[in-house]
Structure 1
Amino acid sequence: MEPGSRRGHEQQLVNRIAVDAYHTAASLLLKSGDAPSAWISAERSMAAARRVGDPAAIATASRILTHAVAAVGHCRQGVGVAVRGADEVSAAVNSSQPDMVAVFGALLLRGAWAASAANDRDTASALLDEAERAAALMEESNRRWTAFGPNNVLLHKLTIALTLGDAGKALVEARRVKVRTLAVAERRAVFWTDVARALHACGRTQKATTALLAAEREAPQEVRSRRVVRELIGELLTRDRRGQAPLLRPLASRAGIPL
């Protein structure tokens, strides 16, 4: 290999690593609640993806950028990032490249979530439908750390119904999810957490507590550290003044929530 060609190859490798490294950094920042810093990391992931020029890298970076932009509060702008990214890479999606299908489908799901946060039901529905078509090209998996597959699409339908304020529909969608086949424990915890949120919205405190306990069994850190879950536990405590959900207070104690 000629020196110039070798340097070019090494630079491409550095850029590919940068796509994933900045993606990981943005994900961790989002989990810790620092959305502005996550946006910066996601922009750097996208810049590296552009230098690589690979559709899978562009889809991966578009996904985390969509999440970060929406998390800052610019949900419609986040939808735009997802739609443009999906349009750009869609020609590369086919059943012979499951990794590409996975990152493309995960991007569509993140766009659907951003649309629901913007209360754009039509766009959320359209993106979910497109993600469902992509999921039909592959089996449940955790390719490229996306956990994308048919059940993950169903999980997002539950989450998005809840985001749009339809707890009853969310519970209907929950019955369709085969939770044990979700490829990642964190996703199974998200399922049970969303079920708990829907049950809480319907005034079913004891069943909501049971769902949170199921989430804790799957991924304790998700229940004990995520702000949205801690807030839910606090709301359940406020509602359950008579102590009719006896397992709620030990759960709150484990999550470090004052009783």
Structure 2
Amino acid sequence: MAGELSVGGRVRYWRRRNGNRSQAAVAGLCGITEDYLSQIERGRKAPSLEVLVALAREIGVPVAALVDQQPSAEPEHPRRTAPGSARILLGYGTVHGGDPVVAAAVLRERVEAAWRMWQSSKTRFTDAAQILPVLLADAEHAVRAHRAGADPQARREILRIAADLYGLLRSYCHRTGRVDLSLLVADRALRAAEEADDPLRIAAAHWNLGHVLLASGDPEGAEQVATQAAEDLLGTPGNRARNALAGALELVAATAVARRRDWWAARRRLESKALPRAKEAGEGNVAWTVFGPTNVELHAMTVEMLAGEATEGLRCADRVDITRVPSIERQFTFTLELARCHDLRREDAAVLVHLLDLEHLAPEDITHSPLARQMAMDLRRRARPTYRRQTDALAERLGVDLPPGLLGNPV
């Protein structure tokens, strides 16, 4: 039993039980050498608390499972959601009362324009903070007005528009650190899609809900939601949009399986379920999911990165033509994970190059990314003199500070 083992023995026990990853993979993810981890597991080295926390995180157990102490709390993600949107979602923001209802066609174009902005603008967070509060207020006013109306077709169209807008808000709230609001709008998207009796939007709403569950640390729930939604959708008449959404749901399920550290099951799911749907659907952006063969390849890289298999992740990256992806968010995620693979291999010059690429590609996204900020901090801590100026400048632009005494110390 794990409870009867030494600290090193517990690390080995849980590493093998939760995914059975190699020492090299886990060590790389934790920022230590394979030899150091081997010595920890054999009881020849006593890990620091920082290393223990990293090991516990990567093998999927609380620190208390490795030592007799309570796990430390995770730092809270900064909350940067526009106050106007948050107030309206929570029910105490601006309401329109007797103001005229915006026509469905106008509202549809505004929602689609907001989605295009969100997927293409370098300043999408600033733009969203300006656009979304007014758009949300107009949409919710229209939904309330049409619920009491006598035209069922007009009501269905407004509900479809609202479902699409809530999908955008889910992504925005997640990226700005409000998982609580993400769950709220994901639920509203699902309710609106169900009221509209729109199978494709119901599937898209479940896709959004799956992402919220992944972000909140519930991969089992995400897998269940995505799997059931894909099965339900495949029971409807087949077309390209249906196949694309079913495939997008399979990507959520595969990511959830990878988060549970079942790497081979995640790989099989991508190969046997997501890839066939991608080949049927082709490249596209149905329901703003950016699903297609390229996105499947991106997720294959994600699985390898999560598994700590940096070399295989880089091989996957070599197969990706990121210019075929119409979403700046997916381009950002690809480049971020590419940087992370190089980070696992301690190829610091490549990490710096990709972080600078990220800053150019999406300067606001990088400031909202905990992983990018962490890599910038780690890079600054171990930077060589030849590129210390660039790493210091990047860290300062991102607002990343090192604790006193750590500057220039090796990992």
- TM (normalized to structure 2)? 0.58
**Amino acid in structure 2 at the alignment position of 1:20:** D
Check conservation: 1:102, 1:149, Cα contact below 8 A.
yes
Pair 1:188 & 2:331 matched: yes
Which is further off, 31-40 or 196-205? 31-40
Provide the residue aligned with 2:399 in structure 1: 256
Question: Percent of aligned positions with the same letter in both sequences?
Answer: 28
In the TM superposition, residue 34 of structure 1 has moved relative to its aligned partner by 1.6
Contact 2:258–2:306 (Cα < 8 Å) also in 1: yes
| C-alpha separation in 2, matches of 1:25 and 1:217 | 25
Partner Cα separation in structure 1 for residue 269 and residue 179 of structure 2: 24
1:53–1:165 Cα change, 3 Å: farther
CA displacement 1:221-259 (0-9 Å, x = unmatched): 222222221122111112215454543222222222236
Once residues 112 and 245 of structure 1 are traced to their aligned partners in structure 2, the CA distance between those partners, rounded to angstroms, is 39
1:79 deviates by 0.7
Aligned to 2:196: 52
Matched position secondary structure for 1:13: helix
Larger radius of gyration: 2
Question: CA–CA distance in 1 between the matches of 2:224 and 2:268?
Answer: 14
Q: Structure 1: 5+ residue runs without aligned partners?
A: none
Residue 39 to residue 192, structure 1, CA distance change in 2 (3 Å): same
Q: In the alignment, does 2:363 pair up with 1:220?
A: yes
Structure 1 residue 247 corresponds to structure 2 residue 385: no
Q: Which residue of 2 aligns with 1:102?
A: 244
Q: For 1:122 and 1:57, locate their aligned partners in 2 and report how far apart those are by CA, in whole Å.
A: 31
**Is the Cα–Cα contact under 8 Å of residues 205 and 245 in structure 1 kept in the other structure?**
no
| Equivalent residues in 2 for 1:1-259, closer than 5 Å | 6-92=150-236, 94=238, 97-129=239-271, 130-240=273-383, 242=385, 244=387, 246-258=389-401
Offset from partner CA, 1:16-39 (integer Å, 9 cap, x none): 123212222221111112212211
SS of 1:258's equivalent in the other structure is coil
- 3-state secondary structure, aligned to 2:229: helix
Task: Work out the CA distance in 2 between the residues paired with 1:121 and 1:103.
Answer: 23
CA contact (8 A) 1:206 1:245 kept: no
Greater relative contact order (Cα < 8 A, sep 6+): 2
Q: How many residues align?
A: 254
SS in structure 2 of the partner of residue 148 of structure 1: coil
- Rounded to whole Å, the distance in 1 between the matches of 2:368 and 2:397 is 10
Q: What RMSD, in angstroms, separates the aligned Cα atoms of the two structures? A: 2.2
Task: Return 5+ residue gaps in structure 2 as ranges.
Answer: 1-147, 403-411
From the two aligned structures, give the one with the greater helix fraction. 1
Rate the CA distance shift 1:254–1:5 in 2: closer, same or farther, 3 A.
closer
Contact 1:117 1:163 in 2 (8 A): yes
Give the TM-score of the pair, scaled to structure 1: 0.89
